[in-house]
């Protein structure tokens, strides 16, 4: 039962890794390019942003509580735009007076709205564009020198055309408020630790409670439910994994037995050296070479370089089946060869161990022929550790191989997870990480139970 706190810790770890990441998921999702548009457009974009943020649940504080300093207000998370929020927190770090910073920020924000309403004409076009970009910059600029420069720019631009002159008092207010921020600075406040308590209305709580009842949220990339995304990916990975695990066991077990039976002689050495070399071959190298040789390069155009059939419509069942096999051959080869060494080595060890047991000697002594000793008597006991190994392989079978899925473009778990990570698609990332963690822990548990089942001498009750 100790694995529940472990899972809890993992959920915290993934959650905090993701909240501290650069980039704004809301902006990314809206993909808004409405930098300089009409006022109505800009306001619509602002409203859309706030709505999307609420829909994604990002309008809540991140955790049950936050440890920060006295200068940082409790309700900073209510500032909708992430970059502006980060900028405010940088300003707070410098000056430590939220009241003044807030006034300054609101003035700039109001100015930004107002400037959107100004009609552009031939006399003010250049100045207006400058003003607009300067204000946008001002909202995300923490550096003192740049801020002063931008405010001065605003001043000169406001004088550039007669119909912009009425903006001057506003610019002066901004300048004055910024002056207040600097003169009334209370930097000592940042050295006084404070704990803000937010209660259960926070992002983490929302996510984890929904997760526990099976609601994984929606993917940022294509707005599909995460469940669908993962389900689509898992099918490919499981298909591939099970074919290759099956093949691995099918090849590795006889190899292990043969090398155990011929322990120490040439046969054994050849098998173990070959397997050792296979084990050391980097799978992404082998995959690249296989694609070059067999996947439509200059050499043999036998297999497709993409691991998944594009369309299977119009084909009979066997046609589909053959098509899948044709596409999956190269990936399966790459998946399989690496595991061979490990499994057959375990098998060899177990078999060598079994062959040195007394009952094997008894069997030999009473005249059972060598083949029968090997394949009937010894194999039973030596297979047990191999079966338990399966529990360790299982989580890997689900989480898939990032390496091979990327190279062969198989839309399985590994590729999906990788793409989600790079695109900062957190709902998918959380779900994948949590599931692989759960599966790994369950795998360990199953392995432990299997050990006890197959070997009654092991008991977890007494020590």
Partner 1 sequence: MDTNKELKQDYWSYVVRQFKKNKRALYSLYIVLFMLFIAVFADFLANEKPIVCTYHGKTYFPILKDYAVSLKLSQFPKELNNVVWSDLKYDFVLRAPIPYSPSTQDILNFGFVSPFGKQDVPSLRWRHWLGTEGIGRDILSALIHGTRIAFIIGLISMSIASVIGILLGALAGFFGDRGIRISRAALIMGIIFTCLGLFYANAVGGFFTGILAFFVCIFIGYLISRPLKKIPILTPKTSIPIDIIVQRMIEILVSIPRLFLIIAVVAIAKPSIFLVMAVIGLTSWTEIARFIRAELLRIRNLEYIEASEALGFPRWRILLKHAIPNALSPVLITIAFGIAAAILTESFLSFIGLGIPPETLTWGKLLSLAQGGKSQLWVAIFPGFAIFLTVTLFNLIGEGLTDALDPRQKK
**Based on CB atoms, which residue is closest to partner 1, 21 or 146?**
21
- Provide the β-strand partners of residue 225: 218
Asked if 187 and 55 touch (Cβ cutoff 8 Å), the reply is no
Q: Is 68 helix (H, G, I), strand (E, B) or coil?
A: strand
Q: Which two structure tokens, joined as six digits, stand for 360?
A: 């094997």
Q: Is 298 in the site for partner 1 (CB under 8 A)?
A: yes
Contact pick of 139, 402, 447, 454 for partner 1 (by CB under 8 A): 402
Angle of CA points 97, 101, 105, to nearest 5°: 170
Burial tier of 306 (Cβ tally within 10 Å: 0-12, 13-18, 19+): middle
On whether the CB atoms of residues 203 and 61 are closer than 8 A, the answer is: yes
- Residue 2 interacting with partner 1 (CB under 8 A): yes
Determine contact, residues 407/291, Cβ cutoff 8 Å: yes
Instruction: Assess contact for 421 and 429: CB atoms under 8 A.
Output: yes
CB of 4 to partner 1, least distance (A): 11
Cβ proximity to partner 1: between 124 and 237 the closer is 237
Q: Is 65 helix (H, G, I), strand (E, B) or coil?
A: strand
**Considering only residues 190, 210, 263, 364, which one is a binding residue for partner 1 as defined by CB under 8 A?**
190
Q: Please report, as residue ranges, which positions from 361 to 390 form the binding site for partner 1 (by CB under 8 A).
A: none
Measured from the CB atom, the residue of 10 and 107 that comes closer to partner 1 is 10
d(CA 30, CA 48): 8
- CA–CA gap between residue 214 and residue 401 (Å, rounded): 25
Q: Does 437 bind partner 1 (CB under 8 A)?
A: yes
440 binds partner 1 (CB under 8 A): yes
Q: Is 289 in the site for partner 1 (CB under 8 A)?
A: yes
Interaction of residue 432 with partner 1, rule CB under 8 A = yes
Selected binder of partner 1 within 243, 247, 441, 454 (CB under 8 A): 441
Is 286 in contact with 334 (CB distance < 8 Å)? yes
Which residues sit opposite 196 in a β-bridge?
Answer: 66
Nearer to partner 1, 118 or 421 (CB): 421
Among the listed ranges 50-58, 203-211, 287-295, 316-324, the one in contact with partner 1 (CB under 8 A) is: 287-295
Kindly indicate which of the ranges 235-243, 256-264, 418-426, 455-463 contains the residues binding partner 1, using the contact rule CB under 8 A.
418-426
CA distance 348 to 398: 27
Residue from 368, 403, 450, 454 in contact with partner 1 (CB under 8 A): 403
- Find, among 99, 104, 49, 57, the residue nearest to 75 by Cα: 99
What would the two tokens of residue 265 be? 């002689």
Counting contacts by CB under 8 A, is residue 410 touching partner 1? no
Q: Does the footprint of partner 1 cover residue 297 (CB under 8 A)?
A: yes
Strand partners, 301: 295
The residues facing 69 across adjacent strands are 193
Question: Among 1, 266, 365, 422, which residue sits at the site for partner 1 (rule: CB under 8 A)?
Answer: 422
Q: Which stretch binds partner 1 (CB under 8 A): 26-34, 188-196, 215-223, 322-330?
A: 188-196
By CB under 8 A, tell whether 22 contacts partner 1.
yes
Tell me the helix, strand and coil percentages in the chain, rounded to 5.
Answer: 70, 5, 25
Query: Should residue 9 be labelled a site residue for partner 1 when binding is judged by CB under 8 A?
Result: yes
Q: Contact between 279 and partner 1 (CB under 8 A)?
A: yes
Listed in sequence order, the residues at least 6 apart from 99 whose beta carbon sits closer than 8 Å to its beta carbon are: none
Piece of the chain touching partner 1 by CB under 8 A; list 143-151, 347-355, 377-385, 431-439: 431-439
- Looking at 17, 47, 129, 445, which residue binds partner 1 (CB under 8 A)? 17
Question: If you write DSSP's letter for every residue of 366-384 in order, what string do you get?
Answer: TT--HHHIIIIIIHHHHHH
Nearer to partner 1, 202 or 399 (CB): 399
- Lay out the site mask for partner 1 across 64-83 (x = CB under 8 A, - = otherwise): ---x-x--------------
| Residue choice 417, 425, 427, 428 for contact with partner 1 (CB under 8 A) | 417
Only one residue has tokens 């250049």, namely: 126
Stretch that binds partner 1, among 48-56, 81-89, 288-296, 346-354 (CB under 8 A): 288-296
Number of residues forming the site for partner 1 (CB under 8 A): 46
Q: Token pair for residue 427?
A: 């709902």
Helix residue ranges, H only, 20-65: 25-30, 39-55
Which parts of this chain interact with partner 1 (CB under 8 A)? 2-3, 5-7, 9-10, 13-14, 17, 21-22, 67, 69, 190-191, 193, 276-277, 279-282, 284-285, 288-289, 292, 297-298, 399, 402-403, 406-407, 417-418, 421-422, 429, 432-433, 436-437, 440-441
């Amino acid at each position: 039962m100790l694995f529940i706190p472990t899972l809890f810790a993992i959920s915290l770890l993934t959650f905090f890794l993701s909240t501290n990441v650069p980039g704004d998921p809301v902006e990314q999702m809206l993909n808004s390019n409405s930098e300089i548009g009409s006022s109505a457009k800009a306001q619509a974009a602002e409203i859309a942003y706030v709505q999307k943020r609420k829909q994604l649940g990002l309008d809540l504080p991140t955790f049950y509580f936050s440890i920060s300093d006295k200068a940082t207000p409790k309700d900073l998370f209510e500032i909708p735009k992430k970059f502006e929020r980060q900028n405010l927190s940088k300003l707070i770090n410098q000056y430590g007076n939220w009241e003044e910073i807030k006034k300054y920020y609101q003035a700039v924000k109001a100015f930004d709205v107002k400037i959107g309403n100004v009609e552009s004409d031939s006399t003010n076009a250049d100045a207006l564009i400058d003003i607009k970009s300067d204000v946008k910059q001002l909202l995300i600029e923490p550096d003192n020198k740049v801020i002063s420069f931008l405010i001065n720019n605003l001043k000169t631009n406001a004088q550039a055309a007669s119909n912009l002159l009425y903006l001057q008092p506003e610019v002066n207010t901004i300048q004055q408020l910024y002056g207040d921020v600097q003169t009334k600075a209370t930097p000592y406040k940042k050295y006084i630790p404070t704990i803000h308590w937010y209660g259960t209305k926070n992002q983490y709580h929302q996510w984890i409670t929904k997760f526990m009842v099976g609601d994984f949220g929606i993917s940022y990339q294509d707005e599909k439910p995460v469940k669908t995304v993962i389900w689509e990916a898992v099918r490919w990975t499981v298909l591939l994994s099970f074919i290759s695990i099956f093949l691995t066991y099918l090849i590795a077990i006889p190899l292990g037995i043969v090398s155990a039976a011929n322990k120490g002689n040439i046969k054994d050495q050849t098998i173990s050296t070959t397997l050792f070399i296979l084990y050391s071959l980097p799978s992404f190298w082998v995959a690249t070479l296989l694609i070059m040789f067999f996947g439509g390069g200059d050499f043999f155009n036998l297999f497709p370089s993409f691991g998944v059939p594009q369309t299977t419509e119009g084909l009979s069942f066997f046609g589909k089946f053959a098509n899948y096999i044709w596409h999956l051959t190269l990936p399966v080869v790459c998946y399989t060869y690496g595991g061979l060494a490990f499994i057959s080595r375990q098998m060899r060890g177990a078999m060598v161990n079994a062959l040195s047991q007394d009952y094997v000697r008894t069997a030999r002594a009473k005249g059972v022929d060598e083949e029968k000793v090997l394949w009937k008597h010894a194999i039973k006991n030596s297979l047990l550790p191999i079966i338990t190994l399966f529990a360790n392989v299982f989580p890997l079978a689900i989480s898939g191989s990032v390496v091979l899925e990327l190279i062969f473009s198989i839309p399985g778990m590994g590729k999906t997870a990788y793409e989600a990570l790079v695109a900062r698609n957190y709902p998918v990332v959380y779900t994948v990480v949590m599931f692989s963690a759960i599966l790994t822990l369950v795998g360990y548990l199953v392995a432990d139970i299997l050990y006890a089942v197959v070997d009654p001498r092991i008991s977890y009750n007494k020590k």
